[in-house]
Amino acid sequence: MLVDDEEMILTSIRTLLVLEADYEVECFTNPLDAVKFMENRATDIVVSDYLMPGLTGIQLLAEAKRLQPEAIRVLLTGHADKASAILAINQVGLFQDLEKPWDNTQLLLVIQQAVERAHLLPELRRTIMQLHTANATLKGAQAHLLSAFLMKARLPKALRAGGLRRRCARSRSGRGYFISR
């Protein structure tokens, strides 16, 4: 998603992204329209100008973060807006800021990295869930083994410590002990 109040900038970036990388690109000159779009459709990347009427780029990216926390956020700034970019990094989890006028190669690289990151995040989340499941399974097995070990270690010692002259033997199932006189 591209958001800039200047139609010429949107056309320029959209053309670059479609021709060079074959991305599907939604463009908005009104940031409020972009917010409405994000309320109803998933967006991987939001690239926003900083100075726009209605909402600033930081306000728009804050809404993007609220509506779609995993959307990658990029801010386009002018030379004098570096303080705003630093503020955006802290407030909205900015992935990257680019200065106007941008270098097409740099813009493409940032968008490609953002696309890769957007696709890696769900995969990472699935892997983390698999690790949590495997960890829980291992903890259960560990508890079972520890219990069996303690049972095996304690029962004969308890019999010997009590001075009992009974014979302790493992059951055929291997799950416990039986005592005979």
Q: Kindly list the domain boundaries of the chain, sorted by start residue.
A: 2-121
Q: Which of 86, 11, 14 is nearest to 50 (CA)?
A: 86
Query: Can you list the positions of beta strands (E) in 6-154?
Result: 27-28, 45-49, 72-77, 96-99
Q: Which of 67, 76, 149, 68 is nearest to 106 (CA)?
A: 76
pTM comes to: 0.70
User: If one looks up domain 2-121 in CATH, what number appears?
Assistant: 3.40.50.2300
Mean pLDDT of 3-12: 95
Q: Using one digit for the tens of pLDDT, what is the confidence trace for 62-114?
A: 999 999 999 999 999 876 567 766 777 788 888 998 888 899 999 999 999 99
Mean pLDDT of 20-24: 86
Q: How far apart are the first and last CA of the chain?
A: 82
Q: Which residue did the predictor score with more confidence, 167 or 68?
A: 68
Q: Which residues pair with 48 in a beta bridge?
A: 3, 75
Cβ burial of 10 (10 Å; 0-12, 13-18, 19+) is buried
